[in-house]
Structure 1
Amino acid sequence: MQVPAGVLIQAVEQGSIAHEVGIEAGDRLLGINDRVIEDVLDYRYVVTLFERELVLRVAKTSGELWEIDIEKDEEEDLGIELEGIQTRLCKNNCIFCFVHQLPRGKQVRRTLRVKDEDFRLSFLFGHYLTLTNLSESDFQRIFEQRLSPLYVSVHATEVGLRQYLLQNRRPDDLLGNMRRLIEGGIKVHTQIVLMPDINDGIHLERSIADLVHFYPSVLTVSIVPVGLTDHRKGLPKLRPVDLDYARRTIEHVSAIQQQNLGTYGTPFCFLGDEFYILAEHPIPPRSHYGEFPLVENGVGMVRTFLDEFALALGKKWKHNRRVSVRGTVVTGRIFYPTLKGCVDQINSKLKVDLQCLPAENLYFGKGITVAGLLTGSDIFAAVKDQLHGDFLVVPSESMTGEQGLFLDDWIKTDLEMRLSVPVFAGGYHVAEFFKLIFSVGSPRHEAFPILSDETVSFGS
């Protein structure tokens, strides 16, 4: 099937420039001035580049081709909404790929099955890419449009080891590609998914040493533990990260961080929060994380949460003492000890009655412990016999869309019908949670919107 040229115009704002010149939803934007428009990023760049005088080439739904001359003010918007980026897919077969570990024969959100490898999504949303599918025109576009920073999955810098991890028949020139990006003025965050006995030890030291050589153009290395589901039949055997391994990794990486601090003034490499929680090790202080550039990758998220919580708990919260606040808060197993301690403090100081429960991930397997991968059925199984109080608070990042869609296609109302209590998203900041619990039972209560691709939430 031939892909239509240009970008689909999904909507046109009433009274806008586009509306006045006859552009309609369903038309396709082919180009602006001498530039071909491939996606919304192209559109934003070209409109900014030419600012006032634009010549739009538009394919109408009737089949006609229009060429439209437009003069506008610099900040004036054309008033068109373009379709989302058509995702480029990953052709690697990484031995730890989460998509390959999805349960067979079960409902699962369609987007979870998408293996993306797209520099545009890396720039826009912080998605990690391996750089294995970049063409010459891609490099030129990245440089021209200043798509920086990008987020690169490294895993190992040694050619043979990286080729094994990615299961790509063609060895790629990772360091050469990164050098080219850097010489073109692009900043890079990098990631290593750490697998016991495979890319750790001397291999990890080599990877960090190769990457820190590019500092400050390579900004950071985040080191996160491999995530293993119960659905790995036919896949390479991998060992999960346990308490002992997490402790040894913290000790190993801490020594490297201290060396980097002395040489570069930054730890440079940062461990995912899961390592500290698994090792029952204190979370590093705020100063360790700088400006928290990796919080969306689970690096510094717990520290951000704890600091936000301390600030929120110190405020004076007014609530109707005649309204009893009794409810249940659920989270994933990895975050449960942290959240339980916070809920206990809320109960003690603010005289409410909240219960905190961990939810086992029955859908993907017990090795998956983060709240964002909990399904509706997981949450139901965790609370059905232990539900306390008059409402349930679930992690915001476990749902998406207005209906509150879980990964297993349950929606929020499925939980409400089965449990006979209202279900609320905890919000994306701790203060939102405090407002939520004190508004429950109030006629003015408003639930927080359910969003996606957010970071720190109550129940992370």
Structure 2
Amino acid sequence: MSKTSIRPALITKVIPDSIAAEIGFEPGDTIASINGQQPRDLIDYQYICADEYLEIEVIDTKGKTHHIEIEKDYDEDLGLEFSTALFDGLIQCNNRCPFCFIDQQPPGKRDTLYLKDDDYRLSFLYGSYLTLTNLPQREWERIEQMRLSPLYISVHATEAELRSRLLKNSRAGKILEQIHWFQERRLQIHAQVVVCPGINDGVHLERTLLDLAKFHTGEIPAVASVAVVPVGLTRFRPTEDELIPVTTAKAEEVIDQVQEIQAKLRQTSGNNCIWLADEWFLIGRRELPPTSEYEDYPQIGNGVGSIRQFISQFETYVKDFLGQNICLSTPRKLTWVVGNAVEKAFVAIGQQLNQIEGLEVNMLDYPQIGNGVGSIRQFISQFETYVKDFLGQNICLSTPRKLTWVVGNAVEKAFVAIGQQLNQIEGLEVNMLALSSNYWGQDITVTGLLTGQDLLEGLQGQDLGEGILLPSVMLKQGDNLFLDDMTLEELAGQLQTNIWPVAGVEELILTAVGDR
């Protein structure tokens, strides 16, 4: 990137009681340079600001330039947030992967939904995946110099010809050479393999996983983990994409194949680096692996173990909470909306919520699809841990409540027990409703892909009780906007009910019992 392409960093928030607040920074101000350097991105900004002495060139909202000198402790944060992490623009993708979700969306939505990023900086900062096909030498040098590790890499196949075919990019075939580059410099990657039946499955999948496992050696393994994810398809995908959806039989085949490889790795090296996304078990109608299988959940952001973690957290939290003998003075009836793929998994959670006296939470089941490696298992594990303490408090709601908890149907089976435990709270009734997505044209849907239109279609005419417990993963981060651009307020108005976004186990339980 040239210096002329670097824009001043726009400040959107000043943290109260921070250095920046004390000096008088305001939202709308921009930072042009620090110590004579123009930061390209948040990485540069954080690196430069680690110094004890800063000279900052600031342009205020009226366009006036100020030069500010700051003395602070080494590595002390200034307390500023910016409109973007990239001050010189996004490095966009130059591949044409047939399974790209960006190309499987309907036209006419907000522009940001159609941006194809392949930016190593977003990978380092936020865990987004890139392919390494568009990096000039200077960016490789920066990764090495600044030790930007780990990065998250979409591998899909290690055979050069096959990977080039999948990404439709002649430069894609150098992946093993590139991973070796990371290994030589003691840098790490997390890899993902999106399995497309008939293309990179079978012997090709085995070859890919064994190739990647060879880099999982030493004190700092170049390949820290590998997530195996089923291809996700929507009704908007191009007709010429050559892709076919994953069936129950194919999911069972992949589960058996990968678990055999996992067992061999544990036998030969004593550890494992390969994990299956939760969705394989949902599509294949298999039980989720236990919490111990996921170790420290290295691929939780890719949906590996999130359901198991959620359930474990819930059970831990609710163990104490329900032991408080809570009883709602005013009964509450709520609706919990989920994707129907997880409905069975979440039944127990709904049952436990409904043990609270005065609370009724209904989980809505309406046919939808998703991706995830262990993310469901992680959620379940967190729930189980939380609920053990929570339920032990013998909580009884003074006012009974009936609520609806909405999830994607991909987690329906996994979350059944959570619903059951919630319903153990005296006075609380939580009904879990598991939905699929007509919007995307999917029969099985992960919760995060449910749109406002899906919820409207699935919930209209339902007895939602006092309101809806809505997983915040359905909404744009920091906003109340669904993937189809419907707002939370619009949905609540059309359904004429309350909607409470909840993030994680603790918020789910505390919102259900009216403690937030």
TM-score, scaled relative to structure 2: 0.77
Deviation (angstroms), 1:58: 5.6
Partner of 2:257: 252
> Bigger CA drift: 384-393 or 187-196?
384-393
Output one character per residue of 1:346-401: Cα deviation in whole Å (capped at 9) or x when no partner: 33522433222222201111156111011111011111122342212222110135
Percent of aligned positions that are identical = 37
Deviation (angstroms), 1:112: 2.4
| Cα separation, partners in 2 of 1:243 and 1:341, compared to 1, 3 Å | farther
> Bigger CA drift: 376-385 or 406-415?
406-415
> Bigger CA drift: 347-356 or 138-147?
347-356
Distance (whole Å) between structure 1 residues aligned to residue 513 and residue 25 of structure 2: 48
Distance (whole Å) between structure 1 residues aligned to residue 163 and residue 5 of structure 2: 34
Partner of 1:436: 511
Output one character per residue of 1:208-254: Cα deviation in whole Å (capped at 9) or x when no partner: 11111111221111001100001123431211111111111111111
| Cα separation, partners in 2 of 1:217 and 1:353, compared to 1, 3 Å | same
Partner of 1:211: 212
Partner of 2:99: 96
Partner of 1:193: 194
| Cα separation, partners in 2 of 1:143 and 1:354, compared to 1, 3 Å | same
Distance (whole Å) between structure 1 residues aligned to residue 268 and residue 23 of structure 2: 59
Partner of 2:374: none
Distance (whole Å) between structure 1 residues aligned to residue 499 and residue 13 of structure 2: 33
SS in structure 2 of the partner of residue 229 of structure 1: coil
Matching residue's letter, 2:191: T
Matching residue's letter, 2:53: E
334, 337, 341: which is aligned to 2:341?
334
Partner of 2:353: 346
Q: Does 1:323 align with 2:330?
A: yes
Distance (whole Å) between structure 2 residues aligned to residue 424 and residue 155 of structure 1: 38
Matching residue's letter, 1:258: A
SS in structure 2 of the partner of residue 433 of structure 1: helix
Partner of 1:183: 184
Within 5 Å, which residues of 2 pair with 1:52-451?
52-56=52-56, 70-78=70-78, 80-86=80-86, 87-105=90-108, 108-215=109-216, 216-315=221-320, 316-348=323-355, 349-351=424-426, 352-367=428-443, 369-400=445-476, 404-425=480-501, 427-439=502-514, 446=516
Distance (whole Å) between structure 2 residues aligned to residue 42 and residue 341 of structure 1: 47
> When you count strand as a share of all residues, which structure comes out higher?
2
Matching residue's letter, 1:130: T
Partner of 1:47: 49
Distance (whole Å) between structure 1 residues aligned to residue 347 and residue 24 of structure 2: 58
Matching residue's letter, 2:301: E
- Maintained 8 Å contact 1:148/1:187: yes
Deviation (angstroms), 1:329: 1.1
Matching residue's letter, 2:340: R
> Bigger CA drift: 379-388 or 397-406?
397-406
Higher relative contact order (CA 8 A, sep 6+): 2
Deviation (angstroms), 1:28: 4.9
Output one character per residue of 1:136-156: Cα deviation in whole Å (capped at 9) or x when no partner: 221222222222111100000
- Maintained 8 Å contact 1:277/1:334: yes
- Maintained 8 Å contact 2:127/2:151: yes
Matching residue's letter, 2:440: F
| Cα separation, partners in 2 of 1:308 and 1:67, compared to 1, 3 Å | closer
Distance (whole Å) between structure 2 residues aligned to residue 386 and residue 81 of structure 1: 42
Deviation (angstroms), 1:258: 0.5
- Maintained 8 Å contact 2:161/2:173: no
Output one character per residue of 1:426-450: Cα deviation in whole Å (capped at 9) or x when no partner: x2222322221111xxxxx53xxxx
- Maintained 8 Å contact 1:109/1:407: no
Output one character per residue of 1:116-135: Cα deviation in whole Å (capped at 9) or x when no partner: 11111111111010011122
- Maintained 8 Å contact 1:228/1:368: no
| Cα separation, partners in 2 of 1:65 and 1:385, compared to 1, 3 Å | closer
SS in structure 2 of the partner of residue 173 of structure 1: helix
- Maintained 8 Å contact 2:34/2:57: yes
Distance (whole Å) between structure 1 residues aligned to residue 10 and residue 168 of structure 2: 35
- Maintained 8 Å contact 1:392/1:423: yes
Matching residue's letter, 1:353: E
| Cα separation, partners in 2 of 1:332 and 1:109, compared to 1, 3 Å | farther
Distance (whole Å) between structure 1 residues aligned to residue 236 and residue 505 of structure 2: 34
Aligned residues: 435
SS in structure 2 of the partner of residue 175 of structure 1: helix
Distance (whole Å) between structure 2 residues aligned to residue 58 and residue 327 of structure 1: 49
SS in structure 1 of the partner of residue 329 of structure 2: coil
Distance (whole Å) between structure 2 residues aligned to residue 190 and residue 148 of structure 1: 13
Matching residue's letter, 1:357: L
Partner of 1:450: none
